[in-house]
Amino acid sequence: TFINSSCDLVFMKDENLRFIAVNERMKDYYGIASVKQAVGKSVLELLPGERATAFESRDRRVLESREAMMVEETENGETYETILFPVFLANGRVGVGGISRIITARHLAELAIEQERDRAEMYLNLAPIVFVASNMHGRVTMINRAGCEILGRKKADILGKAWTKHFVPEEDREETRSALEAFQNSDNPGFFTHENGVLTASGERRDIEWKNVLMLDDEGEVMGILGAGVDITELKRTMGALRESE
């Protein structure tokens, strides 16, 4: 049958949460001799202990809410992604269906990517340079500790906001926005250098010299800009004072 040709674990239950059908993969998961052995029984009769109670509890939530649910869980070294959904049976009855897929390889890959991202963020936080990443809409997707310190704001108050609108002084805003948009649409493989002020939480202006690079996705499409900035405020003040003294 169709469900037995699937590599996923597939089941269907009636309104009393008793199995109407399971496929061969589900039979093997439960460790029973045949699929017929499951029909008419609840999961509590096939599995011992807390696992069965947890399975029946979430099936009942789907049955009562009439809404689909997705669950990800790790068991015996394997990670499963399960989709549970209401099934409309004859005579107005409603049951529950489920499809579980082993996603261990994907899960491990996601963990590896997450660990690499966390490691990269740790390195960025150690640097005294401001790092800011923004998406194609100019909204902040990443900022390091130095950036938060210069702005005098918490990361949560920065992420997701439009960079030029919220953190660039009004006198620099239009020029900075236009320059970044032009660079973003340029396919320039190198660095784009520019200078603009940033506005701190206290209203102070700090002058930053930026080196920007385009961020690309796996297909080589531009997904945003990463900027590395150095605070040159004091340097500019010193140079101004020297010029006035001449």
Segment 129-162, tens digit of pLDDT: 888 999 999 999 999 889 999 999 999 999 999 9
Please count the other Cβ atoms lying within 10 Å of the Cβ belonging to residue 177. 17
For residues 52 and 57, what is the distance between their CA atoms, to the nearest angstrom? 8
Alpha helices, DSSP H only, in 92-232? 104-126, 145-151, 163-167, 170-184
pLDDT at position 235 is 82
Name residue 85's beta-bridge partners.
Answer: 97
Identify the pLDDT of residue 114.
Answer: 67
The predicted-structure confidence for 75-91, as pLDDT tens digits, reads as follows 777 788 888 999 998 88
The side-by-side arrangement of strands in the sheet containing 222-231 is 140-143, 130-135, 222-231, 205-216, 192-199
Which pLDDT score, from 0 to 100, does residue 111 have?
Answer: 62
| Residue the block writes with tokens 């130095």 | 146
* Total-model pTM: 0.52
Residue 173: which of 183, 163, 188 has the closest Cα? 163
